[in-house]
Structure formats: structure tokens, C-alpha cells
């Protein structure tokens, strides 16, 4: 009995190799440059704030990222001058979210 590979070839579908990994395109800003983001913490009024900056994105994209981070981290946050500020120490978790979204984080 033929396998699914044979069925795909009959339907005219291209063959997929085992090592074929689709990479997400790197996110670019308004100027077409690949974004390189940075994440760090600061202490404000005795509390930690995690800041992600280096965005040159459309405000709608930043709002989408902010809401994604707020839901994922369960913390409050805001947009300030093309940067995202989150309440608490979430450096590694924010880096993981940004990498999953296709950004380069340093």
C-alpha cells in the first residue's frame, strides 16, 4: 500500500525533506533594517521594571506585542517612546517571547 509520500507526489505536491525547517523572517523596522532589541531591568520607586527597547515598529505592532506580553507574563506594562516596560523582573521570559515572535534579542 502506498504511503503518504506517494499520495503527495500523485497530487503534485512538492516533497518535504526531513531536515527542512522553515525559519521565520527576521523582523524589520520602518527603515528596513533588522531590529536588534535589548532587554534589561531598572529599579523604580523600589520596584523592578523590565524594559525592552530598540523597536522601530508600527505602533499597532507594539500594542500587539504589549498585550501578548501582559497576557503571557500576568503583569502590567506600558509603551513608552518605542519601548515596552513591564512590571517585575521578566528579562528571560520577555527574551523568549520576542525570539518566538521572530526578533533578534541581545
pLDDT, one tens digit per residue, over 43-67 is: 888 999 999 888 887 888 889 999 9
Instruction: Give me the pLDDT at residue 102, please.
Output: 81
Instruction: For residues 22 and 18, give the distance between their C-alpha atoms in angstroms, rounded to a whole number.
Output: 11
DSSP string for residues in the chain: ---HHHHHHHHTPPP--TT--PPPPPPB-TTSPBPEEEEEEEEETTEEEEEEE-----HHHHHHHHHHHHHHHT--EEEETTEEEEES--HHHHHHHHHHTT-EE-
Domains of the chain by residue range: 24-105
pLDDT band for position 104 (50/70/90)? confident
Which class in CATH covers the domain with range 24-105? alpha beta
Confidence bin at 88 (pLDDT 50/70/90): very high
Mean pLDDT of 73-77: 94
Amino acid at each position: 500500500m502506498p504511503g503518504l509520500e506517494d499520495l503527495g507526489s500523485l497530487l503534485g505536491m512538492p516533497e518535504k525533506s526531513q531536515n527542512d525547517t522553515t525559519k521565520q523572517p527576521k523582523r524589520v523596522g520602518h527603515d528596513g533594517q533588522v531590529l536588534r532589541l535589548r532587554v534589561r531591568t531598572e529599579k523604580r520607586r523600589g520596584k523592578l521594571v523590565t524594559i525592552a527597547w530598540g523597536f522601530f515598529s508600527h505602533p499597532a505592532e507594539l500594542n500587539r506585542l504589549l498585550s501578548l506580553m501582559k497576557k503571557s507574563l500576568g503583569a502590567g506594562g506600558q509603551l513608552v517612546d518605542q519601548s515596552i516596560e513591564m512590571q517585575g523582573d521578566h528579562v528571560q521570559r520577555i527574551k523568549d517571547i520576542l525570539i518566538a515572535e521572530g526578533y533578534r534579542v541581545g
